[in-house]
């Protein structure tokens, strides 16, 4: 930190000013001219929070995707199907038992198991053939989408989260001061804050797993050089199966969390697959930190686009992708 | 060599004989096109139920000929609808195509219909205004009413009865919601209501996360007019409740219908009392409607608690075709001339009253003003407030007068 300031005094000053303005934007009551220029503060703060919480959801889906790719060089285009299947399974379980948390746990386990089966029964047979594996995953995703449509029909499903997760919370951020002198506080849905908390927890857990455990060390070694890892006596297949289980399980869990925040319906598989693809392209394939950064960028771009210029908001997401590909084709945190 | 030639001749003879015979006596191929993918999947499924109900009623036979049903699927985008229509018409060789479901799909299929004069196109449930109003196709028939007709009476009702003076608008960004917003705002604004351009929000189809739009909605309006469909509407309603939304809503025709009210999950008490208007009303106490609902429930136990307007529109359009085929004895010769003539003058009884076509082959039918209430089985339904009889596409004005209102768009009408 200190060395950075000494080396780049100007850059550090710029960053400090930007952070100060940002903090002021969030906590200060906006003066009239600012409201005239960029709209109400409520819109800005809510959009910011929405972007961050949506990024949390995207991170949950994309981290599994990028982990699998990093280790196995397998672009799993059936990742979106895992999301949707997890959501449906979670819905059935929580409907049958009345427990949302049980639904979440079962979705994680069931999809993790599905992931292991996919790896052991299918991908292992075509190891090293990247293109073939990718095509097979497309096939699986199409078949899975039709099977799910047959079982759960096209109806939109929504989870019933526990009562204490539903509703809105008052944040300690003043939106406007009424003429009577009362402060109006920003109100925000509790559940979306929970989504963010879960994503951060999952991120920290993943980091600890990769950087502080023996298995994590093997995974990192595998990302760098698969053959070398195998030659040093590690059962690579076991590591592969484990990583696939975690990646798929995260997607399944995200299905329940996303299905509660938004909803589940056919087509969600493609939507989240596309979102994860963009997130990892921007963040860098194979990097969990990159997935977090990419998710944050895409989540914010999507929400600010939707709030401030809804008609052309979609363009913003792809603009970020185009700029990334032009300036830094390997992604923000991508190696090599 | 001789035997070979004989074989060829014989085959040719059989083909020559069978050719015209097959065209007249074989089964009539009917294509049905609906959105069985994407955000409107659940709507498309119910549309297909409507087609099956009509065919079942006629025993898959009309005018002494079997009807063979071939289904196609789109995802609510115009190009997917064209792709599916092409496949049905050019590959499967259907004689009659019923569909599509969504507004902009309808505009695209109408234009495609002009390139296929040998095939008769009958609408599914697509309800954009210009499918039949401007530059219509001679072989495209719409026995269901469109988005602006569906809004008949709603603007006056919320202005006079509910006392709303200013509204925000939230709608999907394509031709059908433009049509609905036009149909709602035109009378509302003429009475003196307001819907400023910066309080109109247009979002893409299939948008899931409405929280930012909700945050941007103004507080100083009396109500929000919402024209979203299917999964989009379900998402908006839940997120609006979660965000602690307080403003009353006014529903577009597919925002508070059975495809949304019948979705799985939390019951949305806060939308009770939401006014809306459309081609059907769940609780209309009429023997024709009750019989339709009873048949629907019996045929599709896994369907909605009550048929949606998509099942209704596809049913009516399919039935029109079957009735016409019945009248002409299944005679599709001469480029289907007889079928088209009969369709143009057809007038028949539907579950929601009489229907006939105007000179641009657009239906004139009854419209229902409704309000969301808790039904007898504890589910939410639309209760009839008023029936507006025989609404035409031009609201009783002449064609030329009506054209002066301009093309439906994000800013039409301004107020």
Helix (H, G, I), strand (E, B) or coil at B29: strand
Chain centroid to Cα B111, Å, comes to 18
What is the percent of chain A with per-residue pLDDT over 90, rounded to a whole number?
Answer: 38
The pLDDT, as a whole number, for residue A1 is: 64
Band the pLDDT of A336: cuts 50, 70, 90.
low
Q: What is the arithmetic mean of pLDDT over B146-174?
A: 94
The answer to whether the CB atoms of B208 and A192 lie below 8 A apart is no
Residue A189 has its nearest CB partner, among B44, B235, B243, at B243
Chain B residues whose C-beta is within 8 A of a chain A C-beta are 36-39, 41-45, 75, 173, 201-204, 206-209, 211-216, 230-231, 234-235, 238-239, 242-244, 260, 262-266, 302
Pairing of strands B96-98, B28-35: parallel
Predicted confidence (pLDDT) per residue in B236-250, tens digit? 998 888 887 889 999
To the nearest whole Å, the CA of A301 is away from the closest chain B CA by 12
Place of tokens 């000494």: A6
Does A153 contact B at CB distance below 8 Å? yes
Predicted confidence (pLDDT) per residue in A115-144, tens digit? 999 988 988 888 778 888 889 999 999 999
Least reliable range by pLDDT among A109-113, A154-158, B145-149:
A154-158
Domain annotation covers residue A220: yes
How far is it, in rounded angstroms, from Cα B382 to Cα B149? 18
What number of other Cβ atoms are within 10 A of residue B130's Cβ?
18
Domain B149-282+367-403, what fold?
A: Rossmann fold (3.40.50)
The pLDDT, as a whole number, for residue B1 is: 46
- For chain B, the maximum distance between any two Cα atoms, rounded to a whole number of angstroms, is 91
Does A191 contact B at CB distance below 8 Å? yes
Q: What is the arithmetic mean of pLDDT over B164-177?
A: 94
The pLDDT, as a whole number, for residue B40 is: 84
The pLDDT, as a whole number, for residue A295 is: 95
- The number of residues in chain B equals 415
Q: Which two tokens stand for residue B366?
A: 């009854």
- Report which of residues A150 and B267 the model is more confident about: A150
Phi and psi at residue B125, to the nearest 5°: -135, 10
Helix (H, G, I), strand (E, B) or coil at A129: coil
Domain annotation covers residue A175: yes
How far is it, in rounded angstroms, from Cα B49 to Cα B98? 13
Enumerate the domain spans of chain B: 21-144+286-364, 149-282+367-403
- Specify the DSSP class assigned to residue B358: -
Domain annotation covers residue A197: yes
Chain B residue numbers with beta carbons less than 8 Å from the beta carbon of A166 are: 242
Question: A305 pLDDT exceeds 60?
Answer: yes
Domain annotation covers residue A320: no
- Report which of residues B19 and B364 the model is more confident about: B364
Predicted confidence (pLDDT) per residue in B349-368, tens digit? 999 999 999 999 999 999 99
What is the domain range of residue A211? Answer: 50-267
The full DSSP string for B68-87 is EEEEEEE-SSHHHHHHHHHI
Residue A267 has its nearest CB partner, among B38, B238, B244, at B38
Question: B18 pLDDT exceeds 70?
Answer: no
Domain annotation covers residue A303: no
Question: A205 pLDDT exceeds 60?
Answer: yes
Predicted confidence (pLDDT) per residue in B43-52, tens digit? 999 999 999 9
* ipTM of the complex model: 0.71
Question: A9 pLDDT exceeds 70?
Answer: yes
Q: Are B164 and B374 in contact (CB under 8 A)?
A: no
Band the pLDDT of A246: cuts 50, 70, 90.
very high
Mean pLDDT across chain B: 89
Does A42 contact B at CB distance below 8 Å? yes
Question: A195 pLDDT exceeds 70?
Answer: yes
CA dihedral A101, A106, A109, A115 (to 10 degrees): -120
Q: Which two tokens stand for residue A183?
A: 């402060």
Pairing of strands B347-350, B275-278: unpaired
Question: A212 pLDDT exceeds 50?
Answer: yes
- Report which of residues B86 and B42 the model is more confident about: B86
The answer to whether the CB atoms of B216 and A149 lie below 8 A apart is no
Q: Are B34 and B74 in contact (CB under 8 A)?
A: yes
Q: Are B62 and B279 in contact (CB under 8 A)?
A: no
The answer to whether the CB atoms of B264 and A156 lie below 8 A apart is yes
Distance linking the first and last C-alpha atoms of chain A = 26
Chain A residue numbers with beta carbons less than 8 Å from the beta carbon of B208 are: 262-263, 268, 271
Predicted confidence (pLDDT) per residue in B269-295, tens digit? 889 999 999 999 999 999 999 999 999
- Domains identified in chain A, total number: 1
Q: What is the arithmetic mean of pLDDT over B391-409?
A: 91
Please give, one letter per residue, the 3-state secondary structure of A200-214.
HHHHHHHHHHHHHCH
Helix (H, G, I), strand (E, B) or coil at B399: helix
The pLDDT, as a whole number, for residue B111 is: 95
Chain B residue numbers with beta carbons less than 8 Å from the beta carbon of A170 are: none
The answer to whether the CB atoms of B215 and A306 lie below 8 A apart is no
The answer to whether the CB atoms of A314 and B201 lie below 8 A apart is no
Q: Rounded to two decimals, what is the model's pTM? A: 0.81
Domain B21-144+286-364, what fold?
A: Rossmann fold (3.40.50)
Planar angle of CA A83, A85, A87, nearest 5 degrees: 70
Q: What is the arithmetic mean of pLDDT over B126-152?
A: 94
The pLDDT, as a whole number, for residue B50 is: 96
Q: What is the arithmetic mean of pLDDT over B323-345?
A: 93
How far is it, in rounded angstroms, from Cα B32 to Cα A160? 36
């Amino acid at each position: 930190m200190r060395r950075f300031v000494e080396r780049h005094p100007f850059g550090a000053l710029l960053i400090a000013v930007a952070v100060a303005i940002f903090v002021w934007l969030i906590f200060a009551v906006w003066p009239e001219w600012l409201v005239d220029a960029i709209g109400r503060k409520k819109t800005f703060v809510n959009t910011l929070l929405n972007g961050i919480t949506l990024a949390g959801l995207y991170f949950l889906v994309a981290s599994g995707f990028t982990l699998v790719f990093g280790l196995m060089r397998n672009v799993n285009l059936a990742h979106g199907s895992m999301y949707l299947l997890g959501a449906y399974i979670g819905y059935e379980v929580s409907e049958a038992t009345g427990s949302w948390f049980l639904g979440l746990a079962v979705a994680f386990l069931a999809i993790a198991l599905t992931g292991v089966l996919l790896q052991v029964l299918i991908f292992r047979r075509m190891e090293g053939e990247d293109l073939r594996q990718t095509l097979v995953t497309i096939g699986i995703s199409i078949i899975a989408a039709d099977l799910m449509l047959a079982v759960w029909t096209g109806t939109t499903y929504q989870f019933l989260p526990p009562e204490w997760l539903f509703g809105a919370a008052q944040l300690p951020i003043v939106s406007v001061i009424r003429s009577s002198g009362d402060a109006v506080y920003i109100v925000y849905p509790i559940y979306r804050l929970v989504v963010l908390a879960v994503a951060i927890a999952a991120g920290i857990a993943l980091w600890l797993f990769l950087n502080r455990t023996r298995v994590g060390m093997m995974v990192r070694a595998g990302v760098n050089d698969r053959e070398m890892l195998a030659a040093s006596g590690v059962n690579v297949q076991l590591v592969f199966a484990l990583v696939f289980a975690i990646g798929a399980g995260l997607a399944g869990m995200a299905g329940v969390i996303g299905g509660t925040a938004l909803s589940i319906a056919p087509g969600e598989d493609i939507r989240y697959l596309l979102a994860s693809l963009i997130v990892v392209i921007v963040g860098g394939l194979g990097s969990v930190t990159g997935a977090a950064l990419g998710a944050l960028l895409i989540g914010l771009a999507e929400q600010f686009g939707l709030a401030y210029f809804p008609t052309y908001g979609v363009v913003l997401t792809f603009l970020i992708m185009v700029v990334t590909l032009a300036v830094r084709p390997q992604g923000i945190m991508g190696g090599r | 060599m001789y035997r070979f030639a004989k074989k060829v001749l014989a085959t040719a003879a059989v083909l020559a004989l069978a050719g015209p015979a097959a065209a007249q006596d074989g089964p009539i191929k009917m294509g049905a096109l609906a959105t069985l993918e994407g955000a409107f999947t659940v709507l498309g499924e119910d549309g297909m139920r409507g087609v099956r109900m009509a065919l079942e009623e006629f025993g898959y036979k009309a005018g002494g000929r079997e009807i063979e049903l071939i289904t196609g699927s789109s995802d609510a985008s115009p190009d997917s609808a064209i792709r599916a229509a092409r496949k049905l018409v050019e590959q499967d060789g259907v004689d009659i195509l019923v569909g599509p479901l969504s507004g902009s799909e309808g505009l695209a299929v109408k234009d495609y219909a002009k390139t296929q004069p040998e095939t008769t196109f009958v609408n599914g449930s697509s309800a954009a205004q210009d499918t039949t109003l401007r530059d219509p196709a001679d072989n495209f028939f719409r026995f269901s009413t469109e988005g602006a007709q569906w809004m008949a009476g709603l603007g006056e009702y919320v202005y006079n009865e509910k006392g709303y003076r200013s509204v925000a608008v939230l709608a999907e960004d394509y031709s059908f919601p433009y049509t609905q917003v036009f149909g709602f705002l035109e009378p509302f604004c003429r009475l003196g209501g307001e819907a400023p351009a910066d309080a109109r929000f247009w979002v893409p189809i299939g948008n899931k996360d409405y929280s930012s739009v909700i945050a941007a909605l103004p507080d100083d309006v009396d109500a929000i007019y919402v024209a979203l469909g299917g999964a989009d509407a379900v998402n908006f309603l839940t997120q609006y409740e979660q965000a602690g939304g307080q403003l009353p809503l006014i529903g577009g025709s597919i925002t508070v219908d059975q495809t949304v009210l019948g979705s799985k999950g939390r019951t949305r008490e806060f939308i009770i009392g939401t006014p809306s208007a459309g081609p059907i009303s769940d609780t209309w106490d009429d023997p024709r409607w009750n019989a339709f609902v009873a048949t629907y429930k019996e045929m599709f136990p896994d369907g909605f608690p009550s048929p949606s307007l998509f099942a209704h529109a596809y049913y009516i359009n399919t039935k029109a075709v079957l009735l016409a085929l019945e009248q002409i004895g299944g005679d599709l010769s001469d480029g289907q001339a007889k079928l088209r003539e009969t369709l143009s003058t057809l007038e028949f009884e539907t579950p929601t009253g009489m229907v006939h076509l105007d000179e641009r082959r657009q239906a004139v039918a009854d419209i229902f003003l409704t309000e969301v209430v808790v039904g007898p089985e504890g589910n939410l339904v639309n209760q009839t407030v008023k029936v507006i009889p025989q609404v035409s596409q031009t609201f009783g004005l002449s064609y030329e007068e009506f054209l002066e209102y301009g093309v439906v768009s994000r800013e039409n009408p301004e107020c």
